[in-house]
Structure 1
């Protein structure tokens, strides 16, 4: 215990503020999507990542990495999305070990319907509260945190072409 680098008062305040802000932000996003689109934020992210993939298809392994989910948790979520008709799964031709997830037309339509309200909510609870300089700083700080967390799967933020 003698080697512990305890947080000073400023670090402790910053840490707790960050924890509460990130938790409450995620909960707010989840509530908004549940209320307005009938889906949790996790499902929205799955649909969004598939919508940006070539042919709206990717392997379940790739999708799990992008949405930061365990394979079993993702499989459960995708099964629910299949029940809705929003995603379909099939084996990769010539490779029975690899499962592909594809966003269906109905799933894309659900995403298109949910996106305006979700984006407006993100803008209202996050970006409208920050100056352009704070937005840039938040991006830099978040990038530094991701780098320290060894998150190569999100290095390009899960966006095709590294957008």
Structure 2
């Protein structure tokens, strides 16, 4: 039988795997948008549309859902010992995850725009857009590891 602390560690491991998968997709999808915006021929446009759809629906969505579900269980299992609800860093992290969800949804919005017009935005826009999750990742990792006291 699994003890509560063992269950917490298993959920934490699953959470980390889900977060890594989600961020890999968040980093890669806008990079595909860069190449999509730079492409000129119809075959390339179709190829990028397929790649973007499979990445967004097949990896990004499941990874985000797994991240959020496992996070819920981590908070439920760990709140008695970790006291998440009393820590300001935790609420800032949750807010940043909310911003990341909005970014995720905007990737889906832009994906649909690129289907009808591959040159909807320039490849330079997508290069800057691609950097946003990196900033969120840095902030979240610092908050979780350092747990600054505000």
Q: 1 or 2, which has the higher strand percentage?
A: 1
Same fold (TM over 0.5): no
Q: What is the TM-score with the length of structure 1 in the denominator?
A: 0.30
Q: 1 or 2, which has the higher helix percentage?
A: 2
Q: What is the TM-score with the length of structure 2 in the denominator?
A: 0.32
Of structures 1 and 2, the one scoring higher in RCO (CA 8 A, sep 6+) is 2
